[in-house]
Structure 1
Amino acid sequence: MSEFISTGTRFAPLPSPFVFKRGGSLNAGRMAFETWGALNASKNNAVLILTGLSPSAHAASSAENPEKGWWEAMVGPGKAIDTTVWHVICVNTLGSCKGSTGPASTDSATGEAYRLQFPDLAIEDCARAAKAVLNHLGIESLACLVGNSMGGMVALSFLQQFPLFTRSHVNVSGSAQALPFSIAIRSLQREAIRLDPHWNQGRYDRADYPRNGMRIARKLGVVTYRSAMEWDGRFGRVRLNSEASQERFGMEFEVESYLEAHAERFVDQFDPNCYLYLSRAMDWFDVCQSCARDGDDVVGALATIPLQRALVLGATTDILFPLHQQQQIADGLARGGAKTRFLALDSHQGHDAFLVDIDKFAPPIRQFLDELRNLP
């Protein structure tokens, strides 16, 4: 059991007790966050970034931590999210293992890791925990709320729970509810972890660790994060050196080696129990449940969110959070009165496009924020 915390990360306390949507509570919980840029005198230039499942709060480099962040190409001086203009805050999600309280954290009441004693986690809990960071910082409103992937889900819940707190929203490859395909993939990932005998009902340590389960889970994830077009163009049917594997049915193609390398890196950077909790939280999420709407009336549920402006982006080749889900978000926010722009970006890099295809994603985000800055 361990946590992975970046240098320069700061912490905000959660209210005690912090009560979870599905029952249970935390005492002495905390949220990890990092900031860039300064809050102006009017306190109206705050931008909050909510992340996908696995990133830390370290979205970009800083004086405290010069290491490149997970969205380094997007956040910083002169970049699309310009930290000379905006006071940018990025939080590590509740339930993670990268500083915020989660299953890998130590329960102060027992001196042991929470493991499966951590309360059932919902996306709505992640949104309220992010709001606690803003309360800690004394931020009374947001100029813009930015959410990527799972963070797009958290952002929509934030907008539902804290209406009128945010002037604008950028939703990047997000969704308003989990789809059966995405649930199925995440179910297989969780099963791979749980069936690893070293998982041991969550009672593992570094000496006895569900490494194989995590490897398979990560490989399944990476396959869905990119598109078939990219796999074909990047690897084709290129084979490894014939001596690369002597194992029968072992790795033979370059694409297999690529997946293995990704999996090996991830295994040492993320806690299995945290992965299980966050994965299931995504499956449970549905904006309709938060406003007593019929399960199919996603647009109607989103139309109840009061918002001035919105930008919704998605990649045409995303199979995990497919494009029609971003169209739904845009349609719903527009119906609710937000001046909304929806862009289907022609990127062959699938769900991960917002992390790697910066030339496609940065210009509309830059334009949106520039327009927001110039509004009276």
Structure 2
Amino acid sequence: MGDARRYHALPSPFPMKRGGALHGARVAYETWGRLNDARDNAVLILTGLSPSAHAASSADDPSPGWWEAMIGPGKPIDTDRWYVVCVNSLGSDKGSTGPASIDPATGQPYRLRFPALSLEDVANAAWSLAHEGLGIGRLACLIGCSMGGMSALAYLLQHPGSAGAHISVNTAPQAQPFAIAIRSLQREAIRLDPQWDHGNYDIPARPGGKYPEAGMSIARKLGVITYRSAMEWKGRFARIRLDSEHRDDEPFGYEFEVERYLQAHAQRFVRSFDPNCYLYLSRASDWFDVAGYGDGDVHAGLRRIQLERALVLGAGTDILFPLEQQEQIAQGLRAGGAEVDFIAMDSPQGHDAFLVDIAHYGPAIGAFMATLAGRNEPR
């Protein structure tokens, strides 16, 4: 299998919002389609906490991407028309510089010596890629999903006029107490695992080595529970019990099918994402607050964003980023002068609906992108 991943070297030093700077840092990204001569058909996608830049398959990497059904020729984000770029977040471990990367000053992984990370830093790294790396003066559209939606708001606030349109997907202008509480428990599960050892586990992970597998497993299970809705959990699993041969002999072992599902999901994740990167990005999500751009008022902060068009999508069953927060984004962008479409999706899948309910999200995003194309026909 090929590798479509490319890299953009960030300016060195790269200053961080909360102090410190990175030297020799980079972000990983992938592209689909072709940038036209006018350089006005670029679409930049910012991701949630854990995805890589591999949002869709390509000739260089034919493996399915995390938004495979959404991106490609003739798909809602049509790569015959748009030049699509997906960037891996600064602070991640999917090719971009983060806590698991080598610190050039020491020759060892940064670990907890990595500077405090904010979503403003994630946004500025993505802006550097688009503006300085790819020479795109103004994006046709900036798309942000989940945590990436918050990063997108930071991008628009810090770089006025950098995008003509924006698609906000299942996100929020600030973390609410429930989301903060869940992420706090996830971080605590990792930190309390003795194998975490203040960030000094084996990097890279190796069989039999020191690694906070139990903490990462609990953190992932907590996340998965909140990514879906109670309605979907009931519909998929009800109170189905495991067959006797699939039950643990241990006291208080797994008895229900939903427990086995969570365990299997966690096992696929625990060693595929670096624990320190998880901690840094999780905390950055809690810290982000649009109100900081509006003298303590979220609406005033959102009103500062200057766009021509915006599409704001949310799911009524999303408990992590409740629908009223998407409404708040739509109202704020509208107050700033944008023409805004707000759609509340009737999706039972909760926060992760944008990844799985393509039957609803696809047409909404496709129709919005088609209206942009009518105003901005690539050459």
1:119 partner amino acid: P
Please show how residues 78-227 of structure 1 align to structure 2 within 5 Å: 78-134=74-130, 135-205=132-202, 206=205, 207-227=209-229
Please show how residues 261-340 of structure 1 align to structure 2 within 5 Å: 261-289=264-292, 291-294=293-296, 297-340=297-340
Separation (CA, whole Å) in 2 of partners of 1:371 and 1:282: 31
Separation (CA, whole Å) in 1 of partners of 2:76 and 2:300: 31
2:60 to 59, 64, 73: 64
Separation (CA, whole Å) in 1 of partners of 2:283 and 2:77: 30
SS at match of 1:374: helix
What do residues 14-49 of structure 1 show as CA deviations (whole Å, max 9, x unaligned)?
Answer: 111011000111000000000000011111100000
TM-score (norm 1): 0.97
Query: Could you say which residue in structure 1 is the equivalent of 2:7?
Result: 11
1:250 to 246, 249, 253: 253
Query: Following TM superposition, by how much is the alpha carbon of 1:235 offset from its aligned partner in structure 2, in angstroms?
Result: 0.5
SS at match of 2:375: coil
SS at match of 2:126: helix
Gaps of 5+ in 2: none
What do residues 206-260 of structure 1 show as CA deviations (whole Å, max 9, x unaligned)?
Answer: 3100000000000000000000000000000111111211111111100000000
Separation (CA, whole Å) in 1 of partners of 2:346 and 2:276: 35
Separation (CA, whole Å) in 2 of partners of 1:191 and 1:276: 9
Alignment of 1:372 with 2:372, yes or no, is: yes
Separation (CA, whole Å) in 2 of partners of 1:342 and 1:292: 22
1:82 partner amino acid: D
Contact persistence 2:216–2:275 (CA under 8 A): yes
What do residues 267-286 of structure 1 show as CA deviations (whole Å, max 9, x unaligned)?
Answer: 12100000000000000000
SS at match of 1:257: helix
Query: Following TM superposition, by how much is the alpha carbon of 1:375 offset from its aligned partner in structure 2, in angstroms?
Result: 1.3
Separation (CA, whole Å) in 1 of partners of 2:241 and 2:304: 53
What do residues 179-204 of structure 1 show as CA deviations (whole Å, max 9, x unaligned)?
Answer: 11100000000000000000000000
Q: Percent identity?
A: 63
* Length, aligned pairs only: 368
SS at match of 1:369: helix
Separation (CA, whole Å) in 2 of partners of 1:219 and 1:122: 24
TM-score (norm 2): 0.96
Query: Could you say which residue in structure 2 is the equivalent of 1:32?
Result: 28
Contact persistence 2:49–2:147 (CA under 8 A): yes
Contact persistence 2:294–2:300 (CA under 8 A): no
What do residues 115-151 of structure 1 show as CA deviations (whole Å, max 9, x unaligned)?
Answer: 0000000010000000111111111110000000000
Query: Following TM superposition, by how much is the alpha carbon of 1:7 offset from its aligned partner in structure 2, in angstroms?
Result: 2.1
SS at match of 2:299: helix
For the aligned residue pairs, the C-alpha RMSD in angstroms reads 0.8
What do residues 271-311 of structure 1 show as CA deviations (whole Å, max 9, x unaligned)?
Answer: 0000000000000000111x2422xx212210111110000
SS at match of 2:245: coil
Query: Could you say which residue in structure 1 is the equivalent of 2:352?
Result: 352
Separation (CA, whole Å) in 1 of partners of 2:336 and 2:136: 25
1:83 partner amino acid: T
SS at match of 1:243: helix
Separation (CA, whole Å) in 2 of partners of 1:24 and 1:241: 54
SS at match of 2:342: strand
1:310 partner amino acid: A
Instruction: Tell me which stretches of 4 or more aligned residues in structure 1 moved more than 2 Å.
Output: none
2:37 partner amino acid: A
Separation (CA, whole Å) in 2 of partners of 1:325 and 1:261: 32
